[in-house]
């Protein structure tokens, strides 16, 4: 039985605010030298799946550059390997992907070309390690048309997921896409599906063009259950996080630190692979101090770094303090500057003596109260924070802002946006 993987990697990721403004969410840097999509790609090759289609759409350039021909994941192959699948416009009228299921429908030829018996459909924006082979074996043992990987989530989080009810045999009898009520249970879809290839094509093709089934959660899965298809739940008990919000991104980054990290990135038996940058080793100055942090190659540390994650090429000046923060590639932190509970994108300049992350964590962002509310301040790519600035909590500084965009007194209160 031949199984191929198709990774959905075209989403905007709007809840990540400026971090996904100029790149697709799966291309957002994570854990220093990695990108979010590295986890799904690594899971595929570690599970022995070497035919992978990556479906891209929104701002794909950074993602395409990162994946390339797939060499870091051993996916640069003449047979199989990785293929980047973008929407296109043809005379018959192919258009932008209208949803997760429509994206697969527009690429059914990829399934045909690779003569797949089963199709593993994955999301490119989750942080986890998973061997897909037991899932596929379970799918075959059940004789399933569709198997969905599931795990319990807190009741207050159920509105973010597809929630399902199963019988004693783990067959799914009810499915609710992002229910507002909390009485539907807490068994959540992880966005990991194994389809019988023939069933997938048949269900995606039904109703077109008048009533297309564009989304798996809203359309395809409920229709399959209603039609009596064999739809089963596979319970996963490992570590899995959807880093789709700033709060989740920051807290998942912090969970990597400490003596017993929630996810070990460097085990030999399940390596997380990535496109590596050629960078010199970390340089640590005579007055520098690093406590419980993850520091990538190319960083130069001359100040204090505590409980933080630094991507390649970050410079921390003498007297500067970086605490409880995520700082991405080639950011410069000036002398005496302080970062506290901040997520900073690439190539940001933090001026001398600037304080970013000071004030009341309880004041949400005025423009995005549902996205910036946990006390985390976010700074977009290429921004310049002037010397001596004071930036509050839950502040959003957009990409490429410079000194002229800040108030004359350089004070940005809690919850404001620049």
pLDDT digits (tens, 9 = 90+) for 138-166: 999 999 999 999 999 988 888 889 999 99
Highest mean pLDDT: which range of 70-79, 89-98, 205-214: 70-79
Report pTM.
0.93
* Fold match between domain 3-254 and domain 283-412: no
Model confidence at 267: pLDDT above 90: no
> Which one, of 400, 395, 402, lies nearest residue 416 by Cα?
395
Model confidence at 77: pLDDT above 70: yes
Contact by Cβ (8 Å): 24, 58: yes
Q: What values do phi and psi take at 284, rounded to 5?
A: -120, 120
DSSP characters over 308-357: -EE-TT-EE-TT-EEES-EE-TT-EE-TT-EEESEEE-TT-EE-TT-EES
Which of the four pLDDT bands, split at 50, 70 and 90, describes residue 13? low
Two tokens, residue 418: 């620049």
Q: What is the pLDDT of residues 81-99, one digit of tens each?
A: 999 998 765 545 556 787 8
Topology, domain 283-412: UDP N-Acetylglucosamine Acyltransferase; domain 1 (2.160.10)
Residue 91 is predicted with a pLDDT of 44
Two tokens, residue 174: 């009810």
41-45, 75-79, 94-98: which range is least confident on average? Answer: 94-98
25-34, 37-46, 262-271, 275-284: which range is least confident on average? Answer: 262-271
Mean pLDDT value across residues 314-323: 98
Percent of the chain whose pLDDT exceeds 70: 98
How far is 376 from 396, CA to CA, in rounded Å? 9
Residue 75 is predicted with a pLDDT of 95
How far is 317 from 330, CA to CA, in rounded Å? 13
Model confidence at 5: pLDDT above 50: yes
Mean pLDDT value across residues 203-213: 82
Q: What is the pLDDT of residues 334-363, one digit of tens each?
A: 999 999 999 999 999 999 999 999 998 999
CB atoms within 10 A of CB 298: 21
Residue 142 is predicted with a pLDDT of 96
Kindly report the CATH number that applies to the domain delimited by 3-254. 3.90.550.10
CA 355 to mean position of chain CA atoms: 28
How far is 184 from 174, CA to CA, in rounded Å? 9
Question: What are the residue boundaries of the structural domains of the chain, listed by start?
Answer: 3-254, 283-412
Q: What values do phi and psi take at 228, rounded to 5?
A: 85, 15
CB atoms within 10 A of CB 106: 21
Highest mean pLDDT: which range of 47-61, 87-101, 318-332: 318-332
Average pLDDT of the chain? 92
- Name residue 128's beta-bridge partners: 240
CA dihedral 215, 217, 222, 224 (to 10 degrees): 70
Mean pLDDT value across residues 54-80: 90
């Amino acid at each position: 039985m031949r199984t191929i993987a198709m990774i959905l990697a075209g989403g905007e990721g709007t809840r990540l605010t400026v971090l996904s403004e100029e790149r697709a969410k799966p291309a957002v840097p994570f854990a220093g030298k990695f990108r979010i999509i590295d986890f799904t790609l690594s899971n595929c090759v570690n599970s022995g799946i070497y035919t992978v289609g990556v479906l891209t759409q929104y701002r794909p350039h950074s993602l395409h550059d990162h994946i390339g021909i797939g060499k870091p994941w051993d996916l640069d192959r003449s047979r199989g390997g990785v293929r980047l699948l973008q929407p296109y416009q043809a005379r018959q009228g192919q258009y932008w992907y209208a949803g997760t299921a429509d994206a697969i429908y527009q690429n059914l030829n990829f399934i045909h070309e690779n003569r797949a018996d089963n199709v593993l459909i994955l999301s490119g924006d989750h942080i986890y390690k998973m061997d897909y082979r037991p899932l596929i074996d379970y799918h075959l043992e059940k004789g399933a048309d569709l198997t969905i990987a599931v795990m319990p989530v807190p009741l207050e989080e159920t509105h973010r997921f597809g929630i399902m009810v199963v019988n004693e045999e783990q067959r799914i009898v009810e499915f609710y896409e992002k229910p507002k009520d909390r009485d539907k249970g807490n068994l959540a879809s992880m966005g990991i599906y194994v389809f019988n290839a023939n069933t997938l094509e048949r269900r995606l093709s039904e109703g077109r063009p008048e009533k297309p089934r564009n989304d798996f959660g809203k359309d395809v899965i409920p229709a399959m259950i209603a039609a009596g298809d064999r739809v089963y739940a596979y319970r996963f008990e490992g570590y899995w996080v959807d880093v789709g919000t700033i709060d989740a991104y920051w807290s998942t980054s912090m969970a990597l630190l400490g003596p017993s990290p929630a996810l070990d990135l460097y085990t030999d038996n399940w390596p997380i692979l990535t496109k590596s940058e050629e960078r010199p080793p970390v340089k640590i100055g005579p007055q520098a101090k690093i406590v419980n942090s993850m520091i990538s190659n190319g960083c130069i540390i001359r100040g204090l770094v505590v409980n933080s994650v630094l991507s390649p090429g970050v410079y921390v000046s003498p007297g500067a303090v970086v605490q409880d923060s995520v700082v991405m590639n080639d950011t410069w932190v000036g002398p005496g500057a302080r970062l506290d509970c901040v997520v900073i994108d690439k190539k940001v300049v933090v001026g001398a003596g600037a304080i970013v992350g000071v004030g009341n964590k309880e004041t949400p962002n005025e423009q995005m109260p549902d996205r910036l509310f946990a006390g985390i301040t976010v700074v977009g790519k290429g921004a310049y924070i002037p010397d001596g600035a004071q930036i509050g909590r839950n502040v959003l500084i957009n990409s490429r802002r410079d000194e002229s965009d800040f108030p004359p007194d350089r004070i940005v209160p809690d919850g404001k946006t620049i």
